[in-house]
Amino acid sequence: MASKVRAIPAYTAKDYPHIRQLPGADDMPATWEEWHAAFEAAKTERLRRREFTHAKVLIRPGKFKGWLDDNSLSALEHTRQLYAQELLDTKLARDGKRTARWSEC
């Protein structure tokens, strides 16, 4: 049986400041460069351990803010993860896929 694919929230350099402005997102690194370095280090470690059940999910600030508002949530780390997982699960269900390898949604 295949493992559930875990979403890893990701952001573009252009979108990062907008995500950080959302209420609750003050737990994120101050700059996209800091976030990206940590993201790449975690990716490298997962690949080294041969953990291929993760997928990079690009978070867009406008859609994310709408989802937060619709669900009365703030942009905490847990909430960003939950949103990314929801996007990924929807994509995988639509595509009929069971696994992903650091793909973008």
**Could you give the residue ranges of the DSSP H alpha helices within the chain?**
16-20, 32-48, 61-71, 77-95
Chain-wide mean pLDDT for the chain? 88
Q: Is the pLDDT of residue 103 over 50?
A: no
pLDDT in tens, 49-99: 887 788 899 999 999 999 999 999 999 999 999 999 999 999 888 887 554
Query: What pLDDT does residue 97 have?
Result: 54
Sign of CA dihedral 54, 81, 9, 45: negative
Q: DSSP of 44-74, one letter per residue? A: HHHHHTT---EEEEEPPHHHHHHHHHHHT--
Write phi, then psi, for 104 (nearest 5 degrees): -95, 145
Question: CA-CA-CA-CA torsion for 82, 80, 3, 89, nearest 10 degrees?
Answer: 60
List b or e across 69-90, with b for residues whose CB sees 16 or more CB atoms inside 10 angstroms. eeeebebbeebbebbbbebbee
Please say if the pLDDT value at position 3 is more than 60: no
Instruction: State yes or no: pLDDT of 35 exceeds 50.
Output: yes
Whether pTM exceeds 0.95? no
Question: Has residue 102 got a pLDDT over 60?
Answer: no
**Is 47 a residue whose pLDDT tops 70?**
yes
